[in-house]
């Protein structure tokens, strides 16, 4: 229940006006049909007996009763229309609100989470449920409120005939309640156990439909292979789900028979009462319809309760993700990162990635000083890129320390530390934005058009950017309209310009010339020599 109330409070915070309007509409939509049913009794009696009932101190004939009945019907319909609009607005606001929360949460978590399959399972479950589960929680509570209002009014009506009708109505719905709870638990357990299967099918879909994979998928003829894997998993999932659903459908059918028997019993009782003169024809119509609506309301109540139980299980997935906490955070008394860096030292570093059994680095030592180009060379898997990640505190060392000006990087403010280190990664990102945005992302808080062009010149990217249809305003990549594709070497120079735009005192280059031609490499080393004389700490990572 705690999770449900937490979700409900989150929905209320998302849009308080829509939340309270939803409650008002639910109350009206459940009270108005009861009033309509009450008026129907007098309308039928007026037609059959010619009576003019007195309702709330007002004597009404048949036509007045009909007018009130139709007015209530119209009002109920209008409330339904307004409720629908309110629900559409609230649903969109909630989706946007939760998307924002999930994006913020994902952005604040450590890199170590992304190396853990369990995290990806957690994120997948949260992502799958976040778009609709919280709204279902709200709907569940509103349905529960509406059902309670309806049942309360109906019970008052049915008590005028016999209390046994109420007992029969309640007993008949108990089996259905039990079946729904069982179904919720089984479906939840099945979905949680098949999370990785669903993630695999998403991955195969990305392979088959993603642009980044298109060349090799076609070159090696891999589409049939991955399609068969996709179909195999989906068939297995559907087969298991059908097995669960069919078994529970048998129980649902038995519940339907029990409810039908209850309806038959109560209807025979009301017919007997009407034919003996114990109740009027209008009362018979009202009580019969009240019982039918009571059954429906109780079914709705059961659905609301079991639905809330079901959603409690799934909403737990969302909060499981939102409750994750980063371990790499700034200390309360964190130091500001220095504007001038004299040295960086990797002192007796030992590190292994989470869930791995071997060390990537073992008792590694290195000192890099300002005004020099410090080269780190090694074979693949040597741990060169890992050093960059440790310096940026994307991970923390298992043993040893990374020092900047003799101070452990763990003592610096994390955000300032990362802003003070300009890095070009081996697997740099190609942002499908404009050329100037791609470059200015190096210091997102300070845009300077002249500096964008200056660092593009230093990186050797200015000439081909200026030849693009809209120059620096040209979108890069073919993901969106008007985008221009670049070669890998051109993309690498864009990434280099982004790094240089940061103007950080520490610059790290991880295989920066891997995709460059000979003239571009020469240009890069000229830029590197110039940067060295600007008293920056420069680390150059190269393969051997």
Q: What is the mean pLDDT of residues 339-346?
A: 91
Q: CB burial class (10 A; 0-12, 13-18, 19+) of residue 315?
A: buried
How far is the CA of 64 from the CAs of 32, 43, 53, 56, 99, in angstroms?
A: 17, 9, 10, 13, 52
Backbone angles phi, psi at 115, to 5 degrees: -90, 0
pLDDT at 131: 65
pLDDT at 46: 67
Q: What is the mean pLDDT of residues 227-235?
A: 89
Measured CA to CA, the distance from residue 325 to residue 322 in angstroms comes to: 8
Q: By the 8 A CB rule, do 134 and 314 touch?
A: no
Contacts of 449 (CB under 8 A, 6+ apart): 436, 472
How many percent of the chain have pLDDT more than 70?
Answer: 94
Token code pair at residue 146: 């509406």
Which secondary structure element, helix H or strand E, spans residue 497, and what is its range? helix 488-501
Contacts of 263 (CB under 8 A, 6+ apart): 291, 292, 295
- Split at pLDDT 50, 70, 90, the class of 27 is confident
Q: What is the mean pLDDT of residues 285-305?
A: 74
pLDDT at 407: 93
> What secondary structure does DSSP assign to 150-176, as a single string?
HHHHHHHHHHTT-HHHHHHHHHHHHHH
pLDDT at 435: 92
Q: In this structure, are strands 58-59 and 54-55 parallel, antiparallel, or unpaired? A: antiparallel
Measured CA to CA, the distance from residue 232 to residue 54 in angstroms comes to: 70
pLDDT at 102: 80
Token code pair at residue 149: 């209002």
pLDDT at 348: 93
Q: What is the pLDDT of residues 91-140, one digit of tens each?
A: 778 878 887 888 788 888 887 777 777 777 777 777 776 666 777 777 77
- Split at pLDDT 50, 70, 90, the class of 58 is low
Q: By the 8 A CB rule, do 334 and 119 touch?
A: no
pLDDT at 104: 83
Alpha helix segments (H runs only) across 323-374 = none
Q: Is the pLDDT of residue 49 over 70?
A: no
Q: What is the mean pLDDT of residues 335-341?
A: 90
Nearest residue to 179 via CA among 61, 292, 112, 259: 259
pLDDT at 404: 93
Token code pair at residue 455: 């660092």
Measured CA to CA, the distance from residue 339 to residue 404 in angstroms comes to: 11
Q: What is the pLDDT of residues 170-215, one digit of tens each?
A: 777 788 778 877 877 788 788 888 888 888 888 888 888 777 777 6
- Rounded to the nearest 10 degrees, the angle between the axes of helix 281-322 and helix 2-14 is 90
Comparing 384 with 454, which gets the higher pLDDT?
Answer: 454
Q: Is the pLDDT of residue 475 over 70?
A: yes
pLDDT at 424: 85
- DSSP lists the bridge partners of residue 478 as none
pLDDT at 135: 74
Comparing 14 with 539, which gets the higher pLDDT?
Answer: 539
- Residue 298, SS3? helix
pLDDT at 314: 66
Q: What is the mean pLDDT of residues 210-235?
A: 81
378-408 burial, b for 16+ CB within 10 Å, e for fewer? eeeebbbbbbbbbbbbbbebeebbbbbbeee
Measured CA to CA, the distance from residue 413 to residue 38 in angstroms comes to: 69
Q: What is the pLDDT of residues 456-465, one digit of tens each?
A: 998 888 889 9
Q: What is the CA radius of gyration of the chain?
A: 34
pLDDT at 53: 61
- The Cα diameter of the chain in Å comes to 109
Q: What is the mean pLDDT of residues 287-295?
A: 74
First vs last C-alpha separation in the chain: 59
Mean pLDDT of the chain: 82
Q: What is the pLDDT of residues 404-452, one digit of tens each?
A: 999 999 999 998 998 899 888 888 888 888 999 999 998 888 889 999 9
- Least confidently predicted of 283-292, 512-521, 529-538: 283-292
pLDDT at 56: 61
pLDDT at 70: 85
Q: Is the pLDDT of residue 243 over 90?
A: no
Q: By the 8 A CB rule, do 420 and 337 touch?
A: yes
Q: CB burial class (10 A; 0-12, 13-18, 19+) of residue 283?
A: buried
Q: What is the mean pLDDT of residues 64-72?
A: 81
pLDDT at 51: 64
Token code pair at residue 382: 């040597």
Find where tokens 């607005």 sit: 89
Q: What is the pLDDT of residues 197-206, one digit of tens each?
A: 888 888 888 8
- Residue 424, SS3? strand
- Split at pLDDT 50, 70, 90, the class of 14 is confident
How many percent of the chain have pLDDT more than 90?
Answer: 12
pLDDT at 403: 94
Measured CA to CA, the distance from residue 528 to residue 375 in angstroms comes to: 12
Helices and strands: H and E segment counts in the chain: 18, 10
Comparing 504 with 172, which gets the higher pLDDT?
Answer: 504
């Amino acid at each position: 229940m705690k999770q449900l109330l937490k979700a409900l409070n989150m929905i209320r915070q998302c849009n308080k006006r829509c939340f309270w309007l939803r409650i008002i509409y639910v109350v009206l939509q459940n009270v108005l049909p009861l009033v309509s049913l009450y008026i129907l009794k007098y309308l039928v009696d007026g037609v059959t007996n010619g009576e003019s009932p007195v309702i709330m101190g007002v004597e009404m004939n048949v036509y007045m009763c009909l007018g009130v009945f139709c007015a209530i019907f119209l009002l109920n319909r209008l409330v339904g229309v307004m409720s629908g609009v309110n629900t559409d607005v609230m649903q969109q606001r909630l989706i946007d609100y939760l998307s924002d929360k999930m994006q913020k949460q994902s952005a604040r978590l450590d890199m170590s989470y992304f190396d853990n399959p369990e995290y990806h399972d957690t994120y997948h479950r949260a992502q799958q449920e976040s778009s609709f589960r919280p709204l279902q929680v709200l709907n569940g509570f509103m349905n529960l409120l509406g059902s309670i209002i309806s049942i309360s009014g109906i019970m008052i009506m049915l008590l005028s005939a016999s209390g046994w009708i109420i007992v029969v109505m309640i007993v008949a719905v108990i089996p259905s309640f039990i079946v729904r709870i069982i179904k919720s638990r089984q479906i939840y357990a099945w979905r949680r156990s098949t999370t990785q299967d669903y993630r695999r099918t998403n991955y195969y879909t990305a392979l088959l439909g993603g642009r980044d994979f298109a060349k090799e998928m076609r070159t090696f003829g891999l589409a049939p292979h991955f399609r068969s894997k996709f179909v195999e998993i989906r068939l297995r999932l559907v087969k298991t789900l059908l097995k669960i659903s069919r078994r529970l459908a048998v129980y649902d059918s038995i519940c339907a028979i029990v409810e039908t028997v209850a309806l038959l019993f109560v209807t025979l009782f009301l017919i007997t009462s009407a034919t003996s003169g114990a109740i009027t024809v209008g009362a018979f119509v009202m009580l019969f319809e009240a019982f039918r609506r009571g059954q429906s309301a109780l079914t709705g109540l059961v659905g609301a309760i079991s639905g809330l139980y079901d959603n409690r299980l799934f909403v737990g997935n969302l909060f499981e993700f939102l409750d994750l906490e980063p371990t790499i955070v700034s200390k309360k008394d964190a130091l500001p990162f220095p504007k001038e860096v004299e040295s960086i030292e990797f002192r007796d570093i030992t590190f292994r990635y989470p869930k791995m059994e071997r060390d990537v680095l073992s008792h590694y030592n290195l000192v890099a000083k300002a005004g020099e180009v410090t080269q780190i060379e090694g074979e693949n898997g040597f741990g060169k890129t890992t050093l960059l990640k440790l310096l940026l505190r994307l991970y923390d060392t298992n043993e040893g320390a990374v020092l900047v000006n003799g101070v452990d990087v763990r003592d610096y403010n994390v955000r300032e530390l990362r802003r003070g280190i300009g890095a070009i990664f081996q697997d740099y990102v190609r942002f499908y934005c404009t050329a100037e945005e791609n470059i200015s992302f190096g210091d997102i808080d300070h845009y300077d058009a002249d500096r964008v062009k200056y660092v593009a010149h230093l990186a050797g990217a200015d000439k081909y950017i200026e030849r693009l249809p809209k120059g620096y305003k040209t979108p890069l990549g073919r993901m969106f309209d008007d985008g221009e594709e670049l070669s890998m070497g051109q993309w690498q120079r864009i990434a280099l310009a982004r790094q240089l735009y940061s103007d950080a005192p520490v610059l790290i280059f991880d295989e920066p010339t891997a995709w460059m031609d000979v003239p571009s490499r020469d240009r890069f080393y000229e830029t590197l020599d110039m940067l060295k004389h600007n008293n920056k700490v420069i680390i150059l990572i190269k393969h051997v």
